Amino acid sequence: MNAALLIDFGSTFTKVCSVDLDSEMILGTAQAPTTVRTDISIGLKEAFSILKETTGIETYTARLACSSAAGGLSVMASGVVESLTLKAARMAALGAGAKVTRGFHHYLTNSDLKIIEAEPPDIFLLAGGTDGGNSEIIIHNAGKLAGLKRAFPIVVAGNRAAADEVQTLLESAGWEVHVCPNIMPELDRLDIDPVNEIIRSIFLSRITHAKGIDKAGEFIDGVLMPTPYAVLSAAVLLADGTEEESGAGGLMVIDAGGATTDVHSVYDGYEVSDDVILHGIREPRIKRTVEGDMGVRYNASTIVETTGKESGGGLSGSGKNGFFQGMDAREIGELLLEIGGHPEILFGDSKKEFDRALCKAAVHTAVKRHCGTYEKHYTPHGARYLQQGKDFTGLGTIIGTGGPLVNDSNPAETLSACLFDGREPDSLRPRKPEIMIDKKYILYAMGLLASIDAGKALRIMKKEIIKISQEQPDGNNR
Amino acid sequence: MNKTLVLGVIGADVHSVGNKILEYALNLEGFNVVNLGVMVSQQEFIDAAVETAADAILVSSLYGHGELDCKGLREKCEEAGIGNILMYAGGNLVVGKTPFEEVEKRFLDMGFDRVFPPGTLPQTGIDFLRKDLGLANISDGGGSL
Ligand code: B12
């Protein structure tokens, strides 16, 4: 048999997925706790032996891994204006599969430097200024970073006119510097790919080693990418297909998790009519956002608190039509305490509704933040709309993944909380997409497999990622 | 080095024709033009000017609410660290029968450096820009920016 083993060294679990490359079938999946603190190969071997019980397979022709263990890939970014170069820098880092632990704009201050020194990132992305634009800020910020005692690679992707000076400043102070083309060469044009690539290559060359992930070396052929990047690659492949085979078209992947809720989209979102005027930076077709305050376990109380405010109290909160409607505040408070003490808790049937409400609120908020907005202005010649960000109202497909959605008895109902809602007409969320679920949690695995055989990965996704419709009564989707 | 100009029509104003013509004329003249188009907020003007280290902000207003829309722009520039940036306003700033001189004074008081009456040709603006930005006039035989 010609089989591939695909591995995700996650923050909590090491997941493995076995694929028969000839029949293009998933043979089995398994997981065991990640053991990065001792030796990451221990957890891998355990997951592997569980998998072997069901598949019986000992040898694999390819063994590929991705990783978000040991804190994942953390990036701090700085830019000049928050809504311009800092936003672009954030998008580039997120698109490379990193998490952005801090973003700074304008001049770095001494208290910013203390923060950076206290929780140093894996990589610092130094941006700012269009080509020929502001150069003082990036030069100032480079000078500040140069004086720090903690070392990490710095990616420079700012004003071209300042790049030489920034590079010399940092290199002469002994820093590892990677200079990229400007992330925002002109105000209305982003150049994100080079930064994205360099971040991933630093991840491979340095960070997997620094975090002890390469200890699994003898059991695998390589750690190829950060896990979120694997998921994003799978999303791109499923949307766009290969040269021989067409994809599913524009789509969005919603990954609800215990610590964050991530949204990935592969969709243009700028097919605008005459009465729409575009504002703000033009976002990339392939976009990833991470909501670090929307993890259904680690941020449960934040979710309850903030979703009420963000939706103007209409859709969430415990009020009428809210996600937590019908639950009384005391009961919610007790459940939150329970989760706070044991984030790994899985609620029984009686409390499932609360869990589902949390998940709905999280996907609602995460998708709302991912999608663009309209601002309506009346003129004597009818309404005009200012569009900021991508318009997803016409999107064809959304795909749910991640534990809370995959284990939900009615994920379609939960996912529909993220759809367009007439009560929030300015939020350009998908109106009537096909709703699908990554039932076996294979997206990361297909992102990895795509690096050796995109056609097979595409066909397996088409088979395994299944449509679920909202109309089905509860419990029918198991 | 080319001088950078941030250009846009402020407020909820959708008159786009003059803006396009100005962009074209300024580009021909060799300026580096960052055109924000129509319906541009004060914040967008400022963000663009900071990021591109612009030398001037050119605000147009055609639909009659220019004064309201422009109020506070200079103060916000000061706040954002670009308080000394050259700032022009033009378009249809006059509402009703108010004499232009009165309108001009109000805009100067708001912190604009120059204010242009309705029907101003792009060339008039360009001549003032050359002067205010210390560029040689083409007719003086200078030519390059
Ligand atoms: C076409 C037009 C429209 C179109 C715009 C279509 C479009 N996509 O642009 C539509 C039908 C949408 C429209 C709507 C409205 N319009 Co209208 N519109 C006009 C009209 C007829 C022509 C404007 C134009 O394109 N001029 C040609 C360009 C080349 O000239 P310009 O814009 O003035 O710009 C030049 C110069 O002024 C200068 N310039 C401009 N800005 C700057 C800045 C600097 C720094 C410098 C140096 C130079 C400079 O250079 C430009 C290039 O040469 C004018 C009347 C007129 N004849 O001007 C009314 C006019 C501007 N509109 C007017 C009004 C009131 C409106 C409405 C409020 C309602 C209405 N009555 O229809 C709405 C407002 C909508 C909105 N929210 O913006 C009034 C404004 C009155 C005022 N300011 O006191 C005008 C003057 C008509 C009038 N006499 O009543 N309008």
Task: Flag if B39 and A81 touch (Cβ within 8 Å).
Answer: no
Q: Say whether both A412 and A428 belong to one domain.
A: yes
Asked if B30 has any chain A CB less than 8 Å from its own CB, the reply is: no
| Cα A373 from Cα A430, distance rounded (Å) | 12
CATH of the domain at A164: 3.40.50.360
A6 compared with A333, residue with greater pLDDT: A6
**In this structure, is residue A444 part of a structural domain?**
no
| pTM, full prediction | 0.84
Nearest CA among A69, A161, A79 for reference residue A112: A79
Count: domains in chain A? 3
Task: Flag if B12 and A187 touch (Cβ within 8 Å).
Answer: no
Q: Say whether both A286 and A415 belong to one domain.
A: yes
Q: Which of A193-197, A282-286, A381-385, A425-429 has the lowest mean pLDDT?
A: A381-385
Instruction: Specify the 3-state DSSP secondary structure of A276.
Output: strand
Q: Say whether both A389 and A260 belong to one domain.
A: yes
| Among A residues 91-150, those touching chain B with beta carbons less than 8 Å apart | 106, 128-130, 132-135
Res A314 pLDDT > 80: no
Q: Say whether both A302 and A429 belong to one domain.
A: yes
What pLDDT score does A210 carry? 73
| Cα A190 from Cα B126, distance rounded (Å) | 30
Angle between helices A329-341 and A352-370 (to 10 degrees): 80
Token pair for A255 = 């990954």
Most confident stretch, A10-24, A342-356, A458-472: A10-24
Task: Flag if B52 and A379 touch (Cβ within 8 Å).
Answer: no
| DSSP 8-class letter at A398 | E
Interval between CA A152 and ligand 1 midpoint (Å): 54
Contacts of A133 in chain B (CB under 8 A): 4, 51-54
Q: Residue A126: which pLDDT band, with cuts at 50, 70 and 90?
A: very high
**In this structure, is residue A297 part of a structural domain?**
yes
Residue B105 Cα, gap to closest chain A Cα (Å): 29
Which bin fits A252, alpha (ψ -120 to 50), beta or left (φ > 0)? beta
Token pair for A231 = 């998921």
| Cα B25 from Cα A203, distance rounded (Å) | 47
**Residue matched to tokens 């280290």:** B53
Contacts of A277 in chain B (CB under 8 A): 14, 37-39
Q: Which of A118-122, A132-136, A273-277, B23-27 has the lowest mean pLDDT?
A: A273-277
Mean pLDDT along residues A460-468: 94
Q: Which of A180-189, A259-268, A451-460, A467-476 has the lowest mean pLDDT?
A: A467-476
Q: Say whether both A60 and A133 belong to one domain.
A: no
Which residues in chain B land under pLDDT 70? Answer: 1, 137-145
Residue A167 Cα, gap to closest chain B Cα (Å): 20
Residue A408's domain comprises 246-439
Asked if B27 has any chain A CB less than 8 Å from its own CB, the reply is: no
Q: Say whether both A334 and A308 belong to one domain.
A: yes
**In this structure, is residue A239 part of a structural domain?**
no
Q: Say whether both A88 and A10 belong to one domain.
A: no
What pLDDT score does B54 carry? 96
Q: Which of A91-95, A126-130, A272-276, A317-321 has the lowest mean pLDDT?
A: A317-321
| Cα A283 from Cα A300, distance rounded (Å) | 30
**In this structure, is residue A455 part of a structural domain?**
no
Q: Say whether both A256 and A361 belong to one domain.
A: yes
Strand locations in A217-338 (E) = 222-226, 251-256, 261-266, 276-279, 286-291
Task: Flag if B51 and A130 touch (Cβ within 8 Å).
Answer: yes
Q: Residue A166: which pLDDT band, with cuts at 50, 70 and 90?
A: very high
Q: Determine which helix (DSSP H) or strand (DSSP E) holds A67, and give its type and residue range.
A: strand A62-67
Tens digits of residue pLDDT in A22-51: 999 999 999 988 887 888 888 899 999 999
Mean pLDDT estimate for chain A: 88
Instruction: Check if CATH label 3.30.460.80 holds for domain B4-140.
Output: no
Q: What are phi and psi of A230, to 5 degrees?
A: -65, -45
| Cα B90 from Cα A175, distance rounded (Å) | 49
Nearest CA to ligand 1 atom 82: B64
Q: Say whether both A193 and A267 belong to one domain.
A: no
Nearest CA among A390, A279, A191 for reference residue B36: A279
Res A470 pLDDT > 60: no
What pLDDT score does B140 carry? 47
CATH of the domain at A14: 3.30.420.40
ipTM entry: 0.73
| Cα A244 from Cα A164, distance rounded (Å) | 44
Cβ neighbour number for residue A126 with a 10 Å cutoff: 27
B138 compared with A426, residue with greater pLDDT: A426
Contacts of A80 in chain B (CB under 8 A): 50-51
Which bin fits A313, alpha (ψ -120 to 50), beta or left (φ > 0)? left
Q: Say whether both A41 and A86 belong to one domain.
A: no
Mean pLDDT along residues A275-289: 90
| Cα A393 from Cα A422, distance rounded (Å) | 12
**In this structure, is residue A231 part of a structural domain?**
no
- Cα A28 to Cα A20, A59, A222, B37: the distances in Å are 10, 14, 21, 55
**In this structure, is residue A468 part of a structural domain?**
no
Res A474 pLDDT > 50: no
| Cα B39 from Cα A276, distance rounded (Å) | 11
Asked if A384 has any chain B CB less than 8 Å from its own CB, the reply is: yes
